[in-house]
Amino acid sequence: MDTASRAGAGGRAPRTVGVEEELLLVSERTGEPLALSSAVLAAAAAEPDRGGEKVFEKELHQEMLEFATSPQHAMDAVRAELVRWRSEAARHARGAGALVAALATSPVPVRPSRNLGVRYRWMAEQFALTTEEQLTCGCHVHVAVDSDEEGVGVLDRIRPWLAPLNAVSGNSPFWQGRDSGYSSYRSRVWNRWPSAGPYEPFGSAAAYHARVRDMIATGVLRDPGMVYFDARISHSNPTVEIRVADVCLEADTTVLVAALARGLVETAARAWRDGAPVPGAPSALLRLASWRAARSGLGGPLLDPRTLREVPADVALGALVDHTEAALRDAGDLDLVHRGLAELLASGGGAARQRALYEAEGGDLGGVVRACVRITAGAG
């Protein structure tokens, strides 16, 4: 991803936001994921975009394709890039004999194929079955910060508010051919990595970087890219990277997640500058909040980020909007968030839509995938 510029309150432009999305490459006939990322990437490389900068990247498994938007101040511009790169991914995939679907897990049973490379081979040897199971597609939101000190001030203050973002994005109800019972089963699979999930407050940039160095020094992790906190300081961009979301079925949901993520970062940065205390939520409770969000999504209770007690989903999300309201208003995103959350709460989001498609398709998971291909392209 390109570097991002910081802005915020005081009449300045909103902080820039960039989004990374991971997509599944699937068969039109069966809906099964296809190990064709090398062919798709070769086709994309033959048509350089952004003056030769790579947009598409490989991921751990050959059934996946990742792209990143450039940093944008306006959510309309974020949406335009998402739609563009989803369309380009679909075009390149068709040339290789595949379709693309914004699904966080494959509804159809699959045995994924690992990509080549020293790093991926190391991961397979180190983490064994966990690596094989990680055919999961996430959405990572990068929000610009001025410095690592500001970034860590943000990380320490957004911890209780991340689980609701996972609930908003929940788009992985199926796993290996069956209903998992979860809205975001991807997040449960993802949290099998030893470094994934909630984190304790760091207090300073020096302490954050010392923690990362100590984690790598254990020998369990190979490099900083394997530090899979729910949010982290990007090791390659001046951003806070929020990593809790499923890839969303519809681009509009991704934009909603991005707007909320920027609102959280700006709200936390203002609190850090004002010297406001860091919320004392223990990681043990935040892990329960994360599990609850993954299990319920928008259809059941969530833990209120202020109290860490169960409340209806609309109450928890209302608390999130109240918490970020000033930042959302200053960025021009408040109406977008109100509208987007109301629509999602009414529809149930990606997981509910997949389950409705399963019923409509008479239990045909391949039909679910094909319908999601059309939705990914904005045609469903």
pLDDT of residue 220: 98
pLDDT of residue 82: 97
Place of tokens 């990572």: 140
Could you say which residues of the chain have pLDDT below 50? 1-9
Token output for 357: 């498609």
So where are the chain's domains? 17-376
Write out pLDDT tens, residues 114-161.
999 999 999 999 999 999 999 999 999 999 999 999 999 999 999 999
pLDDT of residue 266: 98
d(CA 205, CA 156): 11
Beta-ladder partners of 101: 24
Residue type, 119: R
Question: Do 238 and 196 meet the contact criterion of CB atoms below 8 Å apart?
Answer: no
Token output for 60: 């751990």
SS (H, E, C) the chain: CCCCCCCCCCCCCCCCEEEEEEEEEECCCCCCECCCHHHHHHHHHCCCEHHHECCEECCCECCEEEEECCCECCHHHHHHHHHHHHHHHHHHHHHHCCEEECCCCCCCCCCCCECCCHHHHHHHHHHCHHHHCCCCCEEEEEEECCCHHHHHHHHHHHHHHHHHHHHHHCCECEECCEECCCCEHHHHHHCCCCCCECCCCCCCHHHHHHHHHHHHHCCCCCCHHHCCECEEECCCCCEEEEEEEECCCCHHHHHHHHHHHHHHHHHHHHHHHCCCCCCCCCHHHHHHHHHHHHHHCCCCCEECCCCCCEECHHHHHHHHHHHHHHHHHHHCCHHHHHHHHHHHHHHCHHHHHHHHHHHHCCCCHHHHHHHHHHHHCCCC
Residues with Cβ within 8 Å of residue 312, at least 6 apart in sequence: 301, 302
Q: Classify domain 17-376 at the CATH topology level.
A: Creatine Kinase; Chain A, domain 2 (3.30.590)
pLDDT of residue 53: 62
Write out pLDDT tens, residues 131-142.
999 999 999 999
Instruction: For the beta carbon of residue 217, count every other beta carbon within 10 angstroms.
Output: 9
d(CA 100, CA 89): 7
